[in-house]
Amino acid sequence: MSERDERGGAERLVVIGGDAAGMAAASQARRLRTPEELQIVAFERGHFTSYSACGIPYWVGGTVTGRDQLIARTAEEHRARDIGLRLRTEVTEIDVSGRRVRAHDLDSGETYWTSYDKLVIATGARPVRPDLPGIDADGVHGVQTLDDGQALIDSLARARGRRAVVVGAGYIGVEMAEALILRGFEVTVVDRGEEPMSTLDPDMGRLVRKAMTGLGITMVSGAGVTGVRTDGAGRVRAVVTSDAEYPADVVVLGIGVRPETTLARAAGLPLGARGGLLTDLAMRVRGHEDIWAGGDCVEVLNLVSGQEQYVPLGTHANKHGQVIGTNVGGGYATFPGVVGTAVSKVCDLEIARTGLREKDADRAGLRYEPVVIESTSRAGYYPGAAPMTVKMLAERDTGRLLGVQIIGGEGAGKRVDIAAVALTARMTAEQMTALDLGYAPPFSPVWDPVLVAARKAVAKVRANPSRPRVISH
């Protein structure tokens, strides 16, 4: 008897990937459709479902005490809601015309085809692992999945020394550097860029560098890694650049991630310039009526630049899953796009951004005025008032808000939300100056720092009107 016969008249939804996007889609579809109406099968190649990948650095650093705390919903909980979850089972092929996927049970070795009426691709991301000598050595770790996190923690425990090298100084690199400091390691961060956090403009990244150096982290900039030196047993000994060698008992790769779209590419599904799946606003893969995709394997529309962007973030993955599950379940929902908001921290320093950096604006053909202001997170006289720096980009002439970057102490980071909403609403800096934001001395100076930046941006936009070249007749 075929699988289709077994399930009677029910439609069958197959989900590839058991983390945020995939399981949010499955759960939402289940809320809308009974098992008699919709059978749901979800494949996950790892050991865990619905976990917070963003929490891994805090688990490694010991701030979060146990792995299970990062799991929002276990396999058992999903199964109790009639979601047929198959762990440790990797999908190895999508047969689009045959409406089926091939699954490989990693433990039994069994391989089989299973059919779908509707398919959700939520294959996530994979850490960039440059093809360098020694990169696969024992002691070199990516940190994308809970399994990766566990492997790193085990590796830290058996490391012979206390020297850690983090390659890359983006969000993951910076968070992992802090985590390793908390674990008592001496940390060196080797980064190709001139300043850490290339998601910020370099003038703001410089403030992050200063904070990291202040934590005792050795920052090596403008350094391309050429290889990893290993010992006779194949264990990492050092990270090698063209100029120097950095001894390492453990190495963490924080170079960033790429969409995991190997399956999608092989199946001929449409991919964007950054390798992510392209979807419509309902999160349906373009040109495919019954295939949806979401999470770290898709590209999303940036509402400010008007262009596709790759933004692997758990908060988007959850929203995608919600939208997909609603549509798969017969409802209607869309994901309009992102404005590029991200927030992070290194110890007490909060780091946030939304909208476009200078180079994003250049690339999008936008002309802008950048301003930077210094203020404090609370009224200057209130205890705990921490310095904060706000950079704002406003469009030339129109004054439309294009982006905000914030570096500062406690309470600085989430202020980026003010700008995120303003960007979504396409506000001008001038409109922002009148925003009625929460004010009381323990929370803000009487002019919120974001408004101070907006005022400065208004003045600069007005002071520098574009002068169209006069054409003589």
List active site positions. 54
7-15, 48-56, 91-99, 147-155 -> range binding a copy of itself (CB under 8 A): 48-56
198/354 with CB nearer a copy of itself: 354
Residue type (1 letter), 296: D
**Closest separation between CB of residue 381 and a copy of itself, Å?**
4
8-16, 53-61, 138-146, 263-271 -> range binding a copy of itself (CB under 8 A): 53-61
**Closest separation between CB of residue 415 and a copy of itself, Å?**
7
Site string for a copy of itself, 318-337 (x = CB under 8 A): xx--------------xxx-
Check binding of 459 to a copy of itself (CB under 8 A): no
Distance CA(152)–CA(168), nearest Å, equals 17
39/341 with CB nearer a copy of itself: 341
86/345 with CB nearer a copy of itself: 345
269/412 with CB nearer a copy of itself: 412
The three-state (H, E, C) secondary structure of the chain, written as one string? CCHHHHCCCCEEEEEECCCHHHHHHHHHHHHHCCCCCEEEEEECCCCCCCECHHHHHHHHCCCCCCHHHHECCCHHHHHHCCCEEECCEEEEEEECCCCEEEEEECCCCCEEEEECCEEEECCCEEECCCCCCCCCCECEECCCCHHHHHHHHHHHHHCCCCEEEEECCCHHHHHHHHHHHHCCCEEEEECCCCCCCCCCCHHHHHHHHHHHHHCCCEEECCCCEEEEEECCCCEEEEEEECCCEEECCEEEECCCEEECCHHHHHCCCCECCCCCECECCCCEECCCCCEEECCCCECEEECCCCCEECCCCHHHHHHHHHHHHHHHCCCCCCCCCECCCEEEEECCEEEEEEECCHHHHHHCCCCEEEEEEEEECCCCCCCCCCEEEEEEEEECCCCEEEEEEEEECCCCHHHHHHHHHHHHCCCEHHHHHCCCCCCCCCCCCCCCHHHHHHHHHHHHHHHCCCCCCCCCC
Check binding of 73 to a copy of itself (CB under 8 A): no
89/305 with CB nearer a copy of itself: 305
134/411 with CB nearer a copy of itself: 411
Check binding of 316 to a copy of itself (CB under 8 A): yes
Exactly one of 21, 313, 452, 457 binds a copy of itself (CB under 8 A); that residue is 313
Check binding of 69 to a copy of itself (CB under 8 A): yes
Q: Indicate the burial class of 50 (C-beta count within 10 angstroms; 0-12, 13-18, 19 or more).
A: buried
Distance CA(339)–CA(423), nearest Å, equals 7
Contact (CB, 8 A) for 321 and 24: yes
**Closest separation between CB of residue 441 and a copy of itself, Å?**
5
Distance CA(36)–CA(40), nearest Å, equals 10
Check binding of 338 to a copy of itself (CB under 8 A): yes
Exactly one of 123, 188, 327, 341 binds a copy of itself (CB under 8 A); that residue is 341
Residues numbered 398 to 457 that lie near a copy of itself (CB under 8 A) are: 411, 413-418, 420-422, 424-425, 427, 431, 433-444, 446-448
Exactly one of 86, 115, 382, 387 binds a copy of itself (CB under 8 A); that residue is 382
203/417 with CB nearer a copy of itself: 417
Check binding of 383 to a copy of itself (CB under 8 A): yes
**Closest separation between CB of residue 380 and a copy of itself, Å?**
8
Check binding of 212 to a copy of itself (CB under 8 A): no
Check binding of 213 to a copy of itself (CB under 8 A): no
Check binding of 381 to a copy of itself (CB under 8 A): yes
Check binding of 52 to a copy of itself (CB under 8 A): yes
Distance CA(455)–CA(471), nearest Å, equals 34
Exactly one of 64, 182, 364, 372 binds a copy of itself (CB under 8 A); that residue is 64
Distance CA(123)–CA(314), nearest Å, equals 13
46/337 with CB nearer a copy of itself: 337
The sign of the dihedral angle between the CA atoms of 310, 303, 119, 277 is negative
**Closest separation between CB of residue 213 and a copy of itself, Å?**
21
152/172 with CB nearer a copy of itself: 172
Show the tokens assigned to 110: 């069994």
Check binding of 280 to a copy of itself (CB under 8 A): no
**Closest separation between CB of residue 313 and a copy of itself, Å?**
6
Check binding of 463 to a copy of itself (CB under 8 A): no
Give how far the C-alpha of residue 362 lies from the chain's centroid of Cα atoms, to the nearest Å.
Answer: 23
Exactly one of 22, 149, 314, 370 binds a copy of itself (CB under 8 A); that residue is 314
**Closest separation between CB of residue 332 and a copy of itself, Å?**
11
Residues near a copy of itself (CB under 8 A): 20, 52, 54-55, 58, 63-64, 69-70, 72, 313-316, 318-319, 334-336, 338-345, 350, 352, 354, 379, 381-383, 411, 413-418, 420-422, 424-425, 427, 431, 433-444, 446-448
